[in-house]
Amino acid sequence: MKRVVVRVRKNTAKLELAQLLQLLESVGLEAGAVSYPGECLVVAEGKVDAPVNWLKGLAGVEEVVETESPFPLASLDVKVTPTVVSIAPGVRVGAGEIVVIAGPCAVESRDQILTTAESVKASGAHALRGGIHKPRTSPYSFQGLGSEGISLLEEVHSLTGLPVVTEVLTVEDVDQLLPYVDVFQVGSRNMQNFSLLKALGQVDKPVLLKRGMVATVDEWLQAAEYVLAGGNSNVILCERGIRCFEKRTRNVLDLSAVPLIKSLSHLPIVVDPSHGTGCRNLVPSMSLAAIAAGADGLMVEVHPNPYKALSNGEQSLTLMEFAALMDSVRQLVSALPRRVS
């Protein structure tokens, strides 16, 4: 089975690219393409015994690279420069600045989400998280406000200017939320929802892909490959802990995944210490550890009154605790060759 990556010339027209994909498929190769600023990459794979050198003579082709990587578009084999994902003007993940996404697990009311948004912004957060569709283990747990929450997120964005990150569960959610959100979050339970990943590959908005709770790093990167192969280059990985035998924490936060990802992939990675530990008092220290390990940002749950939260209150910081965390983040970053605004 051959897997090759074709680097297409910068000025290649869309028609020429379409013809290239059609030609590759006509000789039995499955093909997918993704564009980055200044370059386009095409991956082709299939049972073709002939050498791949003939590809070099095709119109628009600049370079042909054979690779054994199971996630070629996400790998360093074909793209050695780090990918920077812009989630809003001036907010870029992977550009050297620590980006902090903060907010409640779920949108519960106008007062709750607006109070949180105003406070985390004042403390230095760059984006607001807030779920309106919540996959819960128990069918009797709070499932989110659904469509009712869209108008609340839209209003809060208008009032605070914070870009919005929210979770999508189905292909239908993508179409419904497209006009209202800045980043689509794929939760742990949906990391291998391939229909959803393919749909997100067709949109021109960033995707924050959480690691599955029992997923290997290779499986995680192959899930990212689904989005990239669909044509969406704006993928941010999120380490959120993996399931283990330990009972005192919700999950085991795998911070070794951060430098490991950096050695395998050009994609940016953020860390969610809230889900990674499930314990409010562990979130600050693990946040700082994640930054020290090389993470491009954090995703932290914050709630005005965690003790009355409808979901994940035990792992949510109070508004004052989040402000203190941001002070600590700035102090740590000042000692590193990185920055936080």
Q: Which residue has the tokens 């607006």?
A: 114
CATH number for position 128: 3.20.20.70
Strand-pairing partners, residue 30, are: 45
Question: What digits encode the pLDDT tens for the residues 163-185?
Answer: 999 999 999 999 999 999 999 99
pLDDT at site 48:
55
Specify if 130 maps to a domain.
yes
**With contact defined as beta carbons under 8 Å apart, do 147 and 176 qualify?**
yes
Q: Work out the pLDDT band at 291, boundaries 50, 70, 90.
A: very high
pLDDT at site 1:
54
Specify if 127 maps to a domain.
yes
**With contact defined as beta carbons under 8 Å apart, do 285 and 313 qualify?**
no
Crossing angle (nearest 10°) for helices 217-229 and 257-264? 50
The domain boundary residue, chosen from 19, 37, 68: 68
Q: 284 with 327, same domain?
A: yes
Q: 90 with 62, same domain?
A: no
Q: 51 with 124, same domain?
A: no
Q: Work out the pLDDT band at 340, boundaries 50, 70, 90.
A: confident
Specify if 339 maps to a domain.
no
For residue 201, which phi and psi values (nearest 5 degrees)?
-70, -15
For every residue of 258-277, DSSP letters joined together read: HHHHHHHBSS-EEE-HHHHH
Please give the model's pTM, rounded to 2 decimal places. 0.92
Euclidean distance between CA atoms 187 and 182, whole angstroms:
16
Q: 222 with 166, same domain?
A: yes
Percent over 90 (pLDDT), the chain: 68
Question: What digits encode the pLDDT tens for the residues 230-285?
Answer: 999 999 999 999 999 999 999 999 999 999 999 999 999 999 999 999 999 999 99
The domain boundary residue, chosen from 43, 68, 93: 68
Lowest mean pLDDT among 31-45, 61-75, 144-158, 170-184: 31-45
Specify if 137 maps to a domain.
yes
Q: 110 with 152, same domain?
A: yes
CATH number for position 57: 3.30.70.1140
Strand-pairing partners, residue 300, are: 102
Q: 36 with 164, same domain?
A: no
Euclidean distance between CA atoms 80 and 64, whole angstroms:
15
Q: 60 with 103, same domain?
A: no
Kindly give the pairing relationship between strand 164-167 and strand 61-66: unpaired
Q: 59 with 100, same domain?
A: no
Domains: count for the chain = 2
Report residue 285 as tokens: 């220290």
User: Mean of the per-residue pLDDT values for the chain?
Assistant: 90
The SS3 of residue 124 is coil
For residue 44, which phi and psi values (nearest 5 degrees)?
-130, 135
What is the dihedral sign for C-alpha 121, 125, 129, 130?
negative
Q: 97 with 57, same domain?
A: no
Specify if 322 maps to a domain.
yes
Q: 34 with 141, same domain?
A: no
The domain boundary residue, chosen from 68, 93, 123: 68
The SS3 of residue 17 is helix
CA atoms within a 13 Å half-sphere pointing along the CA-CB vector of 37 = 7
Q: In what order do the strands lie in the sheet with 61-66?
A: 30-36, 39-46, 2-8, 61-66
Specify if 79 maps to a domain.
no
- The residue segments making up the domain with residue 289 are 85-333
Q: 127 with 44, same domain?
A: no
Proportion of the chain in helix, strand, coil states, percent, rounded to 5: 40, 25, 40
Pairwise pLDDT comparison (62 vs 233), residue with the higher score: 233
What is the dihedral sign for C-alpha 248, 333, 266, 83?
positive
Lowest mean pLDDT among 10-14, 106-110, 115-119, 293-297: 10-14
Specify if 340 maps to a domain.
no
Fill in the DSSP letter of residue 97: B
Beta-carbon contacts of 63 under 8 Å, excluding residues fewer than 6 positions away, are 6, 7, 56
Specify if 76 maps to a domain.
no
Question: What digits encode the pLDDT tens for the residues 113-143?
Answer: 999 999 999 999 999 999 887 666 667 566 6
Question: What digits encode the pLDDT tens for the residues 89-103?
Answer: 999 999 999 999 999
For residue 108, which phi and psi values (nearest 5 degrees)?
-110, -35
Q: 63 with 124, same domain?
A: no
The dihedral over CA atoms of 242, 248, 249, 254, expressed in degrees to the nearest 10, equals -50
Evaluate if residue 50 carries a pLDDT over 60. no
